[in-house]
Chains A and B, each alone.
Chain A
Amino acid sequence: QKEVEQDPGPLSVPEGAIVSLNCTYSNSAFQYFMWYRQYSRKGPELLMYTYSSGNKEDGRFTAQVDKSSKYISLFIRDSQPSDSATYLCAMSPLISNFGNEKLTFGTGTRLTIIP
């Protein structure tokens, strides 16, 4: 079993729809959670990061963490064609000395927003 599971998609939704992307994990030591967006042939771009359970909102993006269920989500409201990309979840244990922990990535979900 992989430490982080993510549905690879592809996922296609019409413009304006709410998109829900999810990851589950098995390692209870994971405390630091991130979502990245990656366009084709580009490096991943950090969208959201959070340390704790609950919701965190940034513009059209909301990250949700449920540690009891080992489940994280990313919601995209009012989706736009420019949101078409691969979305990667990533996580790591709580960082006592920031920068030394490796990230564990999901496989990524390919998302297409249809105009």
Chain B
Amino acid sequence: GAVVSQHPSWVICKSGTSVKIECRSLDFQATTMFWYRQFPKQSLMLMATSNEGSKATYEQGVEKDKFLINHASLTLSTLTVTSAHPEDSSFYICSGPSIRRGYTFGSGTRLTVV
């Protein structure tokens, strides 16, 4: 089946630093990648849609300058949390659409900002 590889799975960082999360589509080309945030015991909240070779589209209320998204190739999209604060601590998940297997999710990244 379609596979989306997400790294790191878990990261701790200090307040004020930046963290980069990578998502790779291993066996399909993704012109679009979706980035979600999930709080404990809650559903997925779409943050932004990354588009290969162009600017990402952000959902209302999501700070573009804090959550930098880059989609430089058909197999790699990155989310960088800049100047992280404790309130940015969350579970971040990417999803890529595969024609064969529908919308496939990465394994998620648990970010803890201390």
Contact = CB atoms under 8 A, between A and B. Distances in A.
A86 to B, nearest CB: 8
A68 B45 CA distance: 28
A46 B101 CA distance: 8
Interface residues of A, number: 21
Contact of B108 (A34, A42, A49, A88): A42
Contact of B91 (A36, A41, A105, A108): A41
B71 to A, nearest CB: 12
A105 B107 contact: no
A115 interface: no
Contacts of A34: 102-103
Interface residues of B, number: 26
Contact residues of B: prevailing secondary structure: strand
Contacts of B106: 43
Given A43-B6, A43-B108, A98 B99 contact: yes
Contacts of B7: none
Interface in A81-115: 88, 90, 98-100, 102-103, 105-108, 110
Contact of A107 (B32, B42, B101): B42
B102 A106 contact: no
Interface of A: 34, 36, 41-46, 49, 88, 90, 98-100, 102-103, 105-108, 110
Interface of B: 4, 6, 30-32, 34, 41-44, 46, 49, 91, 93, 95, 97, 99, 101-108, 110
18 contacts: A36-B105, A43-B4, A43-B6, A43-B106, A43-B107, A43-B108, A46-B101, A46-B105, A90-B103, A98-B99, A99-B30, A99-B31, A99-B32, A102-B46, A103-B46, A103-B103, A107-B43, A110-B41
